[in-house]
């Protein structure tokens, strides 16, 4: 099984080293380590880690701003690390769509639960997105089938059931899904329309 890829970002080299050691001892793969928010965004875009661990206060770009920019590129789990449990920071972390929030000092006791929560939450979000995309594809396919069925009813004086039976049989004969066959019917209709207009 592939190891979970993690990108960590902290301006303190000792903290970066300590966190890297903790992660690698637990079996995670540290794909990269950034010294500031800008580097974190660049590395996240290039390496596409499963989880990004961001210190809030970093030079050049804060962890909060980096989190927002990373979210525009793709959707990893994001854990924010801060020395302060301030209400404003917690609120901003929520607005930045952060998966989990961790208060320093970072130790195995608080690091790994935060990572597991973040990965689990991201997995659920990814699952919901896939389910939604699948529903949207199904709805689009149904609309395409209905359009094609309507064309066949009109062109061949068929009732709805006859048109559907014809489409199902033709899709099986051509080894196409019903949706793909419906697309072919509509495409053929579009290709014929200019000819009819020109001949009319």
The answer to whether domain 5-106 has CATH 3.40.50.620 is no
The pLDDT score that the predictor gives to residue 89 is: 62
- pLDDT score of 34: 95
Could you give the 3-state DSSP secondary structure of residue 80?
A: strand
Residue-range domain boundaries for the chain: 5-106, 136-199
Rg (CA), the chain: 26
- pLDDT score recorded for residue 170: 82
Give the fold, CATH level 3, of 136-199. Answer: Arc Repressor Mutant, subunit A (1.10.10)
Residues in the chain with pLDDT values less than 70:
1-2, 85-97, 125-127, 193-200
Supply the pLDDT for residue 95: 59
Residue 39: its pLDDT value, please? 95
Task: Note the pLDDT tens digit of each residue in 134-151.
Answer: 777 777 888 888 888 888
pTM of the model as a whole: 0.61
Strands ordered across the beta sheet of 29-34: 29-34, 5-9, 51-55, 77-82, 100-103
Which run of H or E residues covers position 103? strand 100-103
């Amino acid at each position: 099984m592939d190891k979970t890829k993690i990108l960590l970002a902290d301006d303190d080299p000792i903290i970066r080293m300590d966190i890297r050691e903790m992660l690698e001892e637990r079996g995670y793969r540290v794909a990269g380590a950034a010294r500031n928010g800008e580097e974190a965004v660049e590395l996240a875009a290039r390496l596409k880690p499963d989880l990004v661990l961001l210190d809030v206060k970093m030079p050049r770009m804060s962890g909060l701003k980096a989190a927002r920019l990373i979210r525009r590129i793709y959707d990893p789990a994001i854990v924010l690390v801060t020395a302060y449990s301030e209400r404003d920071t917690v609120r901003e972390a929520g607005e930045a769509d952060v998966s989990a929030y961790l208060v320093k000092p970072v130790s195995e006791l608080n690091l790994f639960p935060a990572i597991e929560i973040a990965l689990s939450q991201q997995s659920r979000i990814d699952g919901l997105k896939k389910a939604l995309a699948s529903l949207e594809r199904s709805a689009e396919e149904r609309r395409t089938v209905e359009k094609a069925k309507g064309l066949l009813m009109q062109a061949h004086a068929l009732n709805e059931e006859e048109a559907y039976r014809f489409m199902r049989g033709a899709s099986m004969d051509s080894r196409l899904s019903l949706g793909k066959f419906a697309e072919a019917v509509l495409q053929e209709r579009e290709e014929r329309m200019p000819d009819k207009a020109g001949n009319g």
